[in-house]
A and B are shown apart, each in its own frame.
Chain A
Amino acid sequence: MSSETVTIPRSSWLLLHAVAVFAFLYLPIAVLILYSFNGEGVGGFPPHHLTLDWYRTLFADGPIWDSVLNSLQVAFAAMVISLAFGVPAALALDRAQFPGKALFRRLVLLPLILPGIITGLSLLMLFNLTGTRLSLLTIMLGHGTALISVATTEVFAGLQKLDRAQEEASLDLGANYWQTFWRITVPNLKLPIVGAALLIFTLSMDEIAVSFFLIGRDNTLPLEIWGRLRRGITPEINAISTVIFIFSLVAIVFWYRLRVRAEGSADVMAELSEPTSP
């Protein structure tokens, strides 16, 4: 029975289907990038007069770069805040036994499924109540709190894979709990922590819902783009989108290489081909 190989008849429909799906996923991105080089604006097919003008306009555009800088600051702060709270929460969930642990776990992970509107609105009401002026700081706090759950889940998953005997070996060899944490636990958690940091950074960079409620006078990049789109679309937007796309690509490649170095390519490939657990 088991030696029998089941052959699925090759169907041209399958190929067609695959092409359609990939086109649906990637064609808009390709078009977006293509039209950032189009001399005649976003309309017209096929594109005419290939030019780098839109990139020149983009690099001379002060407000855009201000918003990029704002977004970077927000993303960095969100990363620090959510890791500072998320890592201890993950450690508590993995190691500590305390009453109400199940409730604690749900409360920590809830923002993961909570719509951004709820998070944004509730924080807005809180800031109103306390009389806090909306600024980049409020967005940082908003992103930071909303993304703690991401840090917790990522690091918790890493802790679950950790070999506890290593920590025991460290204690056995004379390192106290604190030394063991810094010398053994943290180096072994490097990958999940860096992964969480990258994820939080990118999630914060393109976050709109929470930012929308908490925005002060300084725009983040997604909100700046959003604001400009309402005044009409220009290829400059395509140009900034292309830049973002390239940065994301670089980040993904960086992350992949880091994992390959740490775990060996075979493991990474195996994990990438595994269906991700919820």
Chain B
Amino acid sequence: MASISTSGVSSGAEPNSIRASLLSIRNVAKSFGRNAVLRNISLEIAEGEFLTILGESGSGKTTLLRIVAGFESASAGELWMGEERLDRQPPYRRRVNTVFQSYALFPHLTVEQNVGYGLRVAKRPDAEIVSRVAEALDKVKMTPHAKSKPSKISGGQQQRVALARALVNRPRLLLLDEPLSALDANLRRQMQVELKSLQREVGIAFVFVTHDQEEAMVMSDRIALLRSGELEQVATPREIYSRPATAYVAQFIGHTNLLKGEVRGGVARCTSLSWPAKFPDGPALFSLRPENIRLVAAGRTGDAGSVRLRGKVLHRAFHGATELIGVEAGDGLVLVVRTSGSAAQDTVELEFSPDDAVPVRESPGRV
């Protein structure tokens, strides 16, 4: 088929296109010496959204955040906030505030003075500073500690102060650099929920950096998955989970089975399995989530149109509500299947719907 190329049309399909764009990151690249940390990053951040930049350590996520904050300058590309070219402004002129990983509270100032710092340097009237600081401290439930020095409060409390200190300035965008990484698991889960509801309440766009895919899934409106300095996929958590664009995304977020095969004449083939697939001919890679494979009771007929197979159970891993079992499906193909019951038998019959085998791009380089 001949395709008409429409050059100049942005291909950034925005699921949240109802919201106005707040920050536009355009073709940003960064290298330290010969080491390219970010390559050609383009990303639109919408007004009021919770966007998570997810990636392993060394993927360049913190560098990207620091470029938006203004602590690093991009080697190439531009940042636009509305009509304003942001990347030419020093950090103190950007209506962007940051919650640092180490919180970076000022040790010589009290909690109250820390929170009031931005308003004080902006020379707001005293009465306004007092009331806005009180309001911000109240919002993060830190009013009783207003007069304490940062060294006298706990990590979780410091975290809240850092949040209040940033939000009190009413930024248009709040950047959070792995703010929960120093907290223990329980507090962390609690803060995830609180942070999310706080974001809804204040309506400020959050850009949240984390390496924790679960955290990203729980909190975000959209996830931008960064790998080795390049964006792999930008989508809603649901979409990124159910329709991963690349093999890397499929593996990074949740468990998956990667089926390597080929498509010929509208039929996908992988080892002895085959199913109808409306994709162009050629080698193909499919992601099949463990929960999309069902156990079928022996002898019973499964759903029409589903792919059936039979295999031997190799291993089981109990995960509480569910169990992950590894099934040898012949020709060296091992599928991981999520079951809710306890499948005691050694040989099982399985089925999956062809729609759940999501074609993914091969991720070049290391996986």
Interface of A toward B, CB cutoff 8 Å: 163, 165-166, 168-177, 179, 183-184, 187-188
Contact B108 A173 (CB under 8 A): no
Contact B104 A166 (CB under 8 A): yes
Q: Can you report 6 A-B residue pairs in the complex whose CB atoms are below 8 A from each other?
A: A163-B102, A168-B104, A169-B106, A173-B117, A173-B118, A173-B121
Task: State A183–B109 Cα separation when bound (angstroms).
Answer: 10
Q: Which A residues lie within 8 Å of B117 (CB)?
A: 170, 173, 175, 183
Q: Which A residues lie within 8 Å of B122 (CB)?
A: 174
B98 lies within 8 A of chain A by Cβ: yes
The A interface, classified by DSSP as helix, strand, loop or mixed, is: helix
Q: Which A residues lie within 8 Å of B91 (CB)?
A: 168, 171-172
Q: Which B residues lie within 8 Å of A173 (CB)?
A: 92, 97, 117-118, 121, 165-166, 169
CB within 8 A of B121: which of A165, A183, A187?
A183
B69 lies within 8 A of chain A by Cβ: yes
Contact B104 A175 (CB under 8 A): no
Contact A187 B97 (CB under 8 A): no
Contact B107 A188 (CB under 8 A): yes
Q: Which B residues lie within 8 Å of A163 (CB)?
A: 102, 104
Give B91 Cβ to nearest chain A Cβ, in Å: 4
Give B133 Cβ to nearest chain A Cβ, in Å: 13
Give B72 Cβ to nearest chain A Cβ, in Å: 10
CB within 8 A of B169: which of A165, A174, A183, A188?
A174
Question: Interface residue count for B (Cβ, 8 Å)?
Answer: 23
A-B CB proximity, top 5 nearest: A173-B118, A165-B104, A169-B104, A175-B121, A171-B91
A172 with B69, Cβ < 8 A, contacts A163-B102, A166-B106 known: yes
Contact B90 A176 (CB under 8 A): yes
Tell me which of A169, A173, A175, A177 has the highest count of chain B C-beta atoms within 10 A of its own C-beta: A173
Contact B98 A176 (CB under 8 A): no
Task: State A172–B166 Cα separation when bound (angstroms).
Answer: 9
Give A187 Cβ to nearest chain B Cβ, in Å: 5
Contact A174 B104 (CB under 8 A): no
Contact B104 A171 (CB under 8 A): no
Task: State A155–B65 Cα separation when bound (angstroms).
Answer: 31
Question: What 0/1 readout, one digit per residue, does chain B (91-117) give for beta carbons within 8 Å of chain A?
Answer: 110001110101011111000000001
Q: Which A residues lie within 8 Å of B90 (CB)?
A: 171, 176-177
A172 with B98, Cβ < 8 A, contacts A179-B121, A183-B121 known: yes
B70 lies within 8 A of chain A by Cβ: yes
Task: State A177–B108 Cα separation when bound (angstroms).
Answer: 18
B71 lies within 8 A of chain A by Cβ: yes
Q: Quick one: closest A residue to B107, CB to CB?
A: A188
Give A167 Cβ to nearest chain B Cβ, in Å: 9
Q: Which A residues lie within 8 Å of B169 (CB)?
A: 173-174
Q: Quick one: closest B residue to A186, CB to CB?
A: B108
Contact A188 B92 (CB under 8 A): no
Tell me which of B90, B91, B97, B169 has the highest count of chain A C-beta atoms within 10 A of its own C-beta: B91
Q: Which A residues lie within 8 Å of B102 (CB)?
A: 163, 165
Give A113 Cβ to nearest chain B Cβ, in Å: 34
Give A153 Cβ to nearest chain B Cβ, in Å: 23
Q: Which B residues lie within 8 Å of A179 (CB)?
A: 121
Q: Which B residues lie within 8 Å of A168 (CB)?
A: 69, 71, 91, 98, 100, 104
Give B136 Cβ to nearest chain A Cβ, in Å: 13
Contact B97 A172 (CB under 8 A): yes
From residue 39 to 74 of chain B, which have CB atoms closer than 8 A to chain A? 69-71
Q: Quick one: closest B residue to A187, CB to CB?
A: B108
Give A93 Cβ to nearest chain B Cβ, in Å: 21
Q: Quick one: closest B residue to A171, CB to CB?
A: B91
Q: Which A residues lie within 8 Å of B118 (CB)?
A: 173-175
Task: State A163–B108 Cα separation when bound (angstroms).
Answer: 13
Q: Which A residues lie within 8 Å of B165 (CB)?
A: 169, 173
Contact A171 B97 (CB under 8 A): no
Contact A174 B92 (CB under 8 A): yes
From residue 101 to 156 of chain B, which have CB atoms closer than 8 A to chain A? 102, 104-108, 117-118, 121-122
Q: Which A residues lie within 8 Å of B98 (CB)?
A: 168-169, 172
Task: State A188–B97 Cα separation when bound (angstroms).
Answer: 22
Give A186 Cβ to nearest chain B Cβ, in Å: 10
CB within 8 A of A174: which of B71, B105, B108, B121?
B121
Task: State A256–B301 Cα separation when bound (angstroms).
Answer: 84
Task: State A170–B169 Cα separation when bound (angstroms).
Answer: 12
Q: Which B residues lie within 8 Å of A175 (CB)?
A: 92, 117-118, 121
Q: Which A residues lie within 8 Å of B121 (CB)?
A: 170, 173-175, 179, 183
Give A192 Cβ to nearest chain B Cβ, in Å: 14
Task: State A168–B91 Cα separation when bound (angstroms).
Answer: 8
Task: State A21–B294 Cα separation when bound (angstroms).
Answer: 84
Give A123 Cβ to nearest chain B Cβ, in Å: 39
Task: State A184–B71 Cα separation when bound (angstroms).
Answer: 17
Contact B92 A184 (CB under 8 A): no
Q: Which B residues lie within 8 Å of A166 (CB)?
A: 104-107
Contact B92 A176 (CB under 8 A): yes
Q: Which A residues lie within 8 Å of B104 (CB)?
A: 163, 165-166, 168-169
Task: State A169–B108 Cα separation when bound (angstroms).
Answer: 14
Known pairs A168-B91, A171-B90; list 19 more (Cβ under 8 Å).
Answer: A166-B104, A166-B106, A166-B107, A168-B98, A169-B106, A170-B117, A171-B71, A172-B69, A172-B92, A173-B92, A173-B97, A173-B118, A173-B166, A174-B92, A174-B121, A175-B117, A176-B90, A176-B92, A183-B121
